[in-house]
């Protein structure tokens, strides 16, 4: 008749002191019987954990190497599923004066860990009295991501820069993947950006041509992908370091046509 007869502490005592040939499972329905009139107490009753929320992430980021350096172009829209939470997110993070990183995935995850990368790069420079290479910076970031693999982080970043070996570009994600390449595009709109890049990219692009290609790829991605939009931001990394080229609204890229209407009375 006691409603707390099958309480959690008593169940543990029964399981550890029972002399019966079978063991008492704490997950048997009959072992969790509690009176409906009994007060709720988290010390005695624990609900199963809720499944983690899986918001869809939308973005478009791209970077490619060419004869003039490394060009990086991104959009500025942040989404939570189908909800547009912001149109003004800065998805390019200045890690050092010659290395930058991009954001794709969870905004908080990318921003926090790329700031940590910036601290690690600064500590490296103070200890060794020289600038860190892009390869070493991307390796540090990849090692950090690998140590947290499977713990719910959502990060897909490109680490771009210029060091003693010239322009360098790496892709790193939250599962510890680290890839070196000449061209990457990350995010929900990357499929559309790749369609433009695959057709028009070449290594001998001039700086104005590379800037226009980056803008065009981001524009087409924002036109077809609902998770991408806002403004297009373009950075260029050269031997002198990174420089911000432009930040424009993507709607300015649309080829508007003026139509004259004739009104007849």
Question: Which sequence positions are flagged as catalytic?
Answer: 59
Residue 189: φ, ψ to 5°: -95, 10
Give, in order, the Cα–Cα distances in Å from 33 to each of 39, 48, 118, 128. Answer: 13, 16, 54, 65
Give, in order, the Cα–Cα distances in Å from 186 to each of 120, 220, 265. Answer: 24, 14, 55
Q: Which of 90, 85, 87, 86 is nearest to 74 (CA)?
A: 90
Element (H, E) at 247: strand 241-249
166 DSSP β-pair partners = 163
Decide if 246 contacts 233 (C-beta within 8 A).
Answer: yes
- Using the structure block, give the residue that is written with the tokens 């993507």: 250
Ordered DSSP codes for 56-91: PP---EEEEEETTEEEEEE---EEETTEEEES----
């Amino acid at each position: 008749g006691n409603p707390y007869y099958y309480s959690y502490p008593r169940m543990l005592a029964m399981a550890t002191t029972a002399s019966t040939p079978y063991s008492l499972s704490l997950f048997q329905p009959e072992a969790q019987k509690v009176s409906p009139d009994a007060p709720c107490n988290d010390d005695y009753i624990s609900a199963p954990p809720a499944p983690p929320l899986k918001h869809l992430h939308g973005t478009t980021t791209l970077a490619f190497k060419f004869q003039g350096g490394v060009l990086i172009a991104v959009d500025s829209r942040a989404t939570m599923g189908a909800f547009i939470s912001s149109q003004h997110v800065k998805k390019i993070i200045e890690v050092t004066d010659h290395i930058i990183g991009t954001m794709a995935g969870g905004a908080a995850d990318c921003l926090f860990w790329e700031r940590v990368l910036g601290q690690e790069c600064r500590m490296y420079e103070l200890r060794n009295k020289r600038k860190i290479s892009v390869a070493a910076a991307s390796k540090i970031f990849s090692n950090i991501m690998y140590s947290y693999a499977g713990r719910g982080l959502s990060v897909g970043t490109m680490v771009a820069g210029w060091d003693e070996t010239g322009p360098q570009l790496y892709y790193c994600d939250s599962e510890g993947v680290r890839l070196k390449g000449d061209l990457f595009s990350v995010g929900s709109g990357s499929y559309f950006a790749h369609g433009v890049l695959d057709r028009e990219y070449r290594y001998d692009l001039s700086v104005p041509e590379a800037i226009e290609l980056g803008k065009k790829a981001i524009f087409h991605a924002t036109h077809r992908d609902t998770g991408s939009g806002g403004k297009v931001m373009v950075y260029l990394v050269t031997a002198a370091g990174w420089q911000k080229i432009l930040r424009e609204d993507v709607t300015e890229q649309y080829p508007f046509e003026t139509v004259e209407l004739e009104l007849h009375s």
